[in-house]
Chain A
Amino acid sequence: MRLRVLFEKQGALRYIGHLDLHKIWERSTRRANITLAYSQGFHPMPKIQLASALPLGFSSRAELVDLFTVADMDPHQAQAQLQAAVPSGIHIHSIEVIDPARPPLQVETAASEFEVDISEICPNSDALADLQLRLEHLLIKTSIPRERRGKQYDLRPLIEQAKLEDGKVLRLRLSAREGATGRPEEVLAELGIAFEDTDIERSQIFFRSTEVSL
C-alpha cells in the first residue's frame, strides 16, 4: 500500500538533509512496526519517496513522503503508530492512501512556496520600503544569471512569485521541477540579504495538477 504522509519538519530537524531524512523515515517506520516493501536486487532498498529536497536550516509546514508498505492498513492507524515513532521535530498532519500507479513524488512536484521572516532585517518602514524597491527591481529583470557550485544558471524563470506581506514576510513561490529548482537563499542573495539573518519556512508544495497545502 502506498501511504502519502504530509508532515512538518521543525526544530533540530531543520539541520538534517534529504538523504538523512530518508533514513529517518526508514527507521521510524521500523519502530512503528510497519513493514516497508523492498526493491528487488542485490542490495534491496526500502521503498520510500520524498518530494523536493528542503535546504539545510529551513523549517517546513508541508513536507511529503510516500511509504510503500507490505500490508494494507488504515491510514489513521498508521498515523498514530508513526507519530509515536518519529523523532521530535516531525509532526504528521495527515496520511492518505495513494494509487501506486501515480508517478513518483519528485515527478509530480512543480513548485514550492517559502515564507521568509524578514522582521530582523527590516525593523522599520524605511528598511521595508528599501527592500520593496529592490524586489521590484529584481522582478523587472528578464534574466538573473547566477552561479551555484560552479554551474551557470538563470534564476529569473525559477521565480514564479515574490511578494512582501504585512511588512514581515517575504513570500516566494519557486519552481521545483526536476532539474529546475529555485532556492530561496539564492533569491535572498540577489536582494542583498544574508539568509542566516532570516527564518525560512516552506509553507506549500504545488503539484502539476493539484495543490497540497494546510
Chain B
Amino acid sequence: MHLTTPEQIDQKLHKILPKVTKPGRYVGGEFNSVVKNWAATPLKASLVFPDIYDIGISNVGLKILYDILNARADCLAERSYAVWRDMEDLMRQHSVPLYSMESHHPLSQFDLIGFSIPYETLYTNTLNVIDLAGIPVMSVERSDNHPIIIAGGHSTLNPEPMHAFIDAFVIGEGEEVISEIADVVLRHKLSDGSRDRGAILRDLASLKGVYVPLYYDVDYHSDNTIRAITPNQPFASAIVTKRMVPVLPPPPTKFIVPNIEAVHNRISVEIMRGCTRGCRFCHAGIINRPVRERSVQEVVEAVAAAIDSTGFEEVALLSLSSSDYSNITELVKAVSERFADKHLGISLPSLRIETVSVDLMDQLRDRRGTGFTLAPEAASERMRRTINKYISDEQLLETVREIYSRGWTTVKLYFMIGHPSETLEDVQAIADLCKRVLSEGRKIIGGRARVNAGVSTFVPKPHTPFQWVQCDDMDQIRQKQDLLRRVLKDRNIKLSWTVAEDTMIEAWLSRGDRNISRVIHTAWKKGVKFDAWQEERKFSHWLQAFEEEGIDPSFYTHRTRNVDEVFPWEHISTAVSKKFLFQDYAMSLKQQIREDCRKQCYACGILPTFIEERRQNPGDFWKCPHVKPKTETLAVV
C-alpha cells in the first residue's frame, strides 16, 4: 500500500535520499516556487514534465500554466517530474508514490494532472509517471477517485499514439483554455473529494481546442489505413481546431530558481511566437502560426523584472527565428545597454545566416567560448530548394568569414540528412561545405579554427508539407552517416549525428495512429523509458513490442502516403489547411521556393480560421494581413 501523507513521504525520503544521485532533484523548496494552503484550496492541479528535474525545471510552457493556475484563489498548482532510475527503484521498494515538489502530496490526491509533452520520446516516461503515482495507466480503467489526466505540447498535435493513456488533450496554446479546464473540473468535484469523471470528460469535450479520445471512433480499411475518424457523441466536434491566443499575454518573470544545476539555468523570454519562413520540414513553423510579436519595451521590462526576481546570470530571448523579429536591432541595443554591468550572458538563438547576425551577437558580447551557431539544414542547391530554406553558399561563407574575424573560433553548423529525394551527392555536399567553412576559418585565424557539424536525421512530421513522405530506413541513414564519417576526418571538424535507432523511435511515435498506443504500452511494460536518453535506449524492446502486437513498424515510416489518405491526425486542425500543405509539398517536388509570408500572404488557412480574432486585434504585432472591419448591415430603405 502506498504512503499517503506528505509527513509519511518525508520520513521515508529522509532514508532514501542519501542513497540517490543528486537528491536535490526530489525535494523542491526553490525560490519562487508557490506553496498554497492545501486544505483550503478547492482545486489541486499537478503540472508534470515527464523527464528528470534537471531538464523539466526550465520548461517555459509549464511555468506559464503554473502562474495562471496559482493566480486563482480557488486553485493551486504544484510540479512533478520523472525520477531517475535509482530513485524510482527505491521509491517502489519503499512504497513511496510520485509526489509533488511543493507540498510532497502524492499525485493521486490531485484533481487534475497536466503533462507537457513537447517531444515524442517522452511517451514511455509519461506512462511511467502515471504508474509511479499509483494511477492506472489506461484511461478507461480510471474512476471518479482518480485525477483527470490531460496533456498538451507540440507532440500532442498528433494525440492518437497516446489516446489510451490521456483523458483529454489540449490542442494548441494553453494560456486561455487551462482556466476553462480548471472551471470544468471544479464544477464537477463531488462532496467526498472525488470527481464526476463522466461529466468532466463530457464538458471538456465541449471546450474549443480540447480533444477527448473516448468520444471518437476510428474506422480502418483492410490495409490498416484509416477510413474515417468520427465523433460518437453530439457534443464532440468533428474537427478539433487548435487554440491560439491573439495577443501574447505578459511573459512569466518569476521563474523558479533551481537549487541544483539544471540544463538551462536562465531567464527565458519569448520575444515572438510562430515563424513566417515556411521551411517545409518544420513542425513548429506550421503549428505555431500566426506570428505574434511582443514589443521591445515589453521584452526589456520582462528581462529586468526577471533578473530582480530570480538572480539568474543568463537570459535567453526565445523565438523560432530571432532575425525575423521586426525590431531585432533595437531590441539587442536596448538589452545590451540596459544590462551592460550585470555580468549577464544573453543568448539569441536561431539567427539567420547573414552578416547582420554576427553584428547582433557581437553587440550582446555573447561568450566567445561557446561558438557561433548556424543552421543551413542542407548543403546542396537542390535540397535547399526542396526544403524551402534557401541560402546561397556565398552568403553562408561571407557570414562565416565575419564570424571567424570577429573572434569566434568555432562555427557550429546544423544539418539534416534524410530530406525527401536526398541522394548521396547531397550528403557529400554537407561534407564539402564543412571543409570550405573550415578553410575560410584557417585563412583568418589559422589552426585555431574549428567546425562542429551536427547532423540529425529528418522525420516527416504530422501537419507539415512533408507529412506525405516516407522516412529513410536504417540502412539509408547509416550509409549517409558512414559517408560523412569517412569524408570528414579532419581533426578540427567535429561531427555528431543522431543514431538511426533513435530516429526510428521518434518516427514511429510521431506518425503513429491509435494502434501505436498498444506498442507504447507493451514497450513500457518491458522497461522502456527515457527514450530521449541515448544511453538508456532499448531499441530491441521496441522491436519486440511491435512484434508482440502484430504491427509492422515500416507501415508508419517507410510508406509514401496517397494524396487522399486519411491521416491519424485528420480530425486535429492546426488551422493550416491540408490543401495548402499539399500545394507546398507539390512545390517542393519541383524545387519551387515560397518566400517569407510576411511579404505576401499565401493563404495557408490561418486567417480565415481566426478572422474574428484578427479583426479585433488589428496592428503590426500580428504578421498576417489586416482584415476589414465589419461594416454594419445596411438597412434597406
Contacts and interface: CB of A to CB of B under 8 A. Distances in A.
Given A12-B259, A20-B261, A197-B15, A28 B311 contact: yes
A13 B311 contact: no
B29 A89 contact: yes
A97 interface: no
B620 interface: no
B29 A13 contact: yes
B456 to A, nearest CB: 31
Interface string A1-38: 00000000001111111011001101111110100001
A196 B260 contact: no
A44 interface: yes
Contacts of B533: none
B31 A15 contact: no
A114 to B, nearest CB: 15
Given A87-B29, A87-B31, A196-B18, A20 B311 contact: no
Contacts of A14: 27
B269 to A, nearest CB: 17
A197 B11 CA distance: 10
Given A12-B27, A29-B311, 15 more contacts: A12-B24, A12-B29, A14-B27, A15-B27, A16-B260, A19-B261, A20-B261, A27-B312, A30-B307, A30-B311, A30-B312, A31-B309, A33-B308, A46-B343, A88-B29
B29 A196 contact: no
Interface in B1-52: 14-19, 23-24, 26-31
B257 A57 contact: no
Contact of A196 (B14, B27, B310, B312): B14
Contacts of A27: 31, 257, 310-313
B47 to A, nearest CB: 19
B171 to A, nearest CB: 36
Given A30-B311, A87-B30, A57 B343 contact: no
Given A20-B261, A26-B313, A31-B311, A57 B30 contact: no
Nearest to B14: A196
A35 B14 CA distance: 37
Interface residue tally on A, bucketed by range: 20 to 34
9 contacts: A12-B29, A16-B259, A20-B260, A24-B259, A26-B313, A87-B31, A88-B31, A196-B14, A196-B16
A89 B30 CA distance: 9
A28 B32 CA distance: 12
Contacts of A197: 15
A20 B24 contact: yes
Interface string A26-64: 111111010000100000101000000000110000000
B424 to A, nearest CB: 43
A26 B343 CA distance: 12
A44 B310 contact: no
B23 to A, nearest CB: 4
B343 A196 contact: no
Contacts of B343: 38, 44, 46
Contacts of A15: 17, 23-24, 26-27
A89 to B, nearest CB: 6
B300 to A, nearest CB: 18
A85 interface: yes
Interface string B569-581: 0000000000000
A87 B308 contact: no
A38 B311 CA distance: 15
Nearest to B32: A87
Nearest to A89: B29
B29 A57 contact: no
A85 B307 CA distance: 12
B533 to A, nearest CB: 22
Nearest to A42: B369
Nearest to A198: B14
Contacts of B19: 196
Interface of A: 11-17, 19-20, 23-24, 26-31, 33, 38, 44, 46, 56-57, 85-89, 195-197, 199
A182 to B, nearest CB: 18
Interface residues of B, number: 27
A57 B309 contact: no
A56 B265 CA distance: 22
Contacts of B311: 26-31, 85
A88 B28 CA distance: 10
A23 B313 CA distance: 10
Among A13, A15, A29, A31, the most chain B Cβ lie within 10 Å of the Cβ of: A15
A198 to B, nearest CB: 10
Contacts of A31: 31, 308-311
Contacts of B259: 12-13, 16, 20, 24, 87
Contact of A11 (B29, B265, B312): B29
Nearest to A35: B341
A47 to B, nearest CB: 12
Interface string B279-315: 0000000000000000000000000000111111100
A44 B343 CA distance: 9
- The 3 residue pairs across chains A and B that have the minimum distance between CB atoms: A12-B29, A27-B311, A30-B311
Contacts of B24: 12, 15-17, 20
A106 B221 CA distance: 74
A132 to B, nearest CB: 25
Contacts of A196: 14-16, 18-19
Contacts of A56: 18, 23
Among B14, B15, B28, the most chain A Cβ lie within 10 Å of the Cβ of: B14
Contacts of B261: 19-20, 23
Contacts of A38: 343
Contacts of B31: 27-28, 31, 85-88
Contacts of A23: 261, 265
A57 B30 CA distance: 17
A20 B15 CA distance: 22
Contacts of A29: 311
Contacts of A12: 24, 27-29, 259
A204 B343 CA distance: 35
Among B23, B30, B311, B313, the most chain A Cβ lie within 10 Å of the Cβ of: B311
A14 B26 CA distance: 12
Contacts of B309: 31
B308 A57 contact: no
Nearest to A36: B343
A30 B312 CA distance: 8
A27 to B, nearest CB: 3
Nearest to A25: B311
Contacts of A57: 17-18, 23
Among B14, B24, B27, B259, the most chain A Cβ lie within 10 Å of the Cβ of: B259
B407 to A, nearest CB: 12
Nearest to B26: A15
A199 B18 CA distance: 12
A27 B265 CA distance: 11
A19 B23 CA distance: 14
B35 to A, nearest CB: 9
